[in-house]
Amino acid sequence: MSRGDDQQSQALAKPTFSDVQASALVESVFGLKVSKIQPLPSYDDQNFHVCISSTKDTTDGPTEYVLKISNTESSKTPELIEVQNHVTMFLRAAGFPTASVRHTTGGNLTCLVSVDGGSGVPGYLVRLLSYLPGRPVAEIPSSPQLLYEIGRLAGKLDETLQKFHHPQLSSLRRENFIWNLKNVPLLEKYLDALGQNRNREIVVQVIQLFKDEILTKLSHFRECINHGDLNDHNILVESSKSAFGDAIYQVSGILDFGDMSYGYYVFEAAITIMYMMIESKSPVHVGGHVLAGFESVIPLTPVERSALFLLVCGRFCQSLVIAAYSCQLHPENKDYLMTTAKTGWKHLQQMFDMGQKAVEEIWFETARSYDSGVSM
């Protein structure tokens, strides 16, 4: 069962380990002594920032980790988690700033931890990733340079993943996965979470346009493996000073491969554009810089470019509708779940009001302004 098949089951199955229980897991499963632990925000898994005490056995390894406890639905697909782990290690070996994966004391990359209490839950998959340095892009004022670099990163990721091979690679063909961009029409069953208002009207229109204009073009898009969630909290950056004293930001971490699936190059570009718009003071102008960076690696075809506007609108709808639905199930996690909604509805309405032609004109003109000699 995927997140798309039963969103409610997934939302209700988020792990609820205490700090003490999580600390005990790190010590028993990975053989590390915890000196400090604190929870990290998450959507439907549970994450902890873990600091370990240095011992003679751990002097060569990291001293900070992220303990990831997968929800019960994801824990039923260990082959998918295994592929995510191997992708992370593959990309790290290829020079990307992704986490390393700590082996358990038994030499495995994951461990299924059973829970007591007669809840009927068979267990949770647990893994330990190195903690990556930097600040989330969400906390940094966006600049053309940073947006271009993030677009280029998205293109390089997809290009590099074409060389990735694994026996369980087919597990990334997640047909009913609600977060795969081709599954925007699956949002219809969650529309009641929006009530009756203009937001809902726009989503209904996007879904219909998506059916008419995107689903009919899928065979013309070039397929690849997508990270699928390059949002402004999953990309970390560190700053350095330029010769002129300005801050220049370099990507220092790529997080969360949990939404990875087979998709298309244009999906990754659209998803990245949408998330980079969230915190921007001039959101409509973001797309051209991200697109220029992406196309410096993978130039889009005319048919892929023509789909970009609706794909960005579709991703806004996915994020906003699923957040509204999840908030009904988990009101205690509202602040985190509604991060996109703070500006997302306004941005989606602005795009819709301007129309595809006007938005494309801004994006494509900006992308054209980068000559072929631009580099990171």
User: In the annotation, is 6 catalytic?
Assistant: no
φ, ψ (nearest 5 deg) of residue 304: -70, -45
Residue 35: enclosing H or E segment and its boundaries?
A: strand 34-40
From residue 291, give the alpha-carbon distance in Å to each of 17, 32, 97, 247, 296.
41, 43, 21, 22, 8
Rounded-to-integer distance, Cα 317 and Cα 214, Å: 15
| Closest to 273 in 3D by CA, of 205, 319, 338 | 319
Rounded-to-integer distance, Cα 116 and Cα 151, Å: 45
φ, ψ (nearest 5 deg) of residue 223: -80, 150
Q: Any residues with CB less than 8 A from the CB of 184 and at least 6 apart, and which?
A: 206, 207, 210, 214, 314, 317, 318
Residue 46: enclosing H or E segment and its boundaries?
A: strand 46-52
Rounded-to-integer distance, Cα 63 and Cα 180, Å: 35
Rounded-to-integer distance, Cα 324 and Cα 333, Å: 11
Q: Distance between alpha carbon 118 and the CA centroid of its chain, in Å?
A: 33
Q: Any residues with CB less than 8 A from the CB of 102 and at least 6 apart, and which?
A: 30, 32, 61, 62, 65, 127, 128, 129, 130
Q: Which of 44, 158, 229, 256 is catalytic?
A: 229
With contact defined as beta carbons under 8 Å apart, do 162 and 224 qualify? Answer: yes
Q: Which residues are catalytic?
A: 229
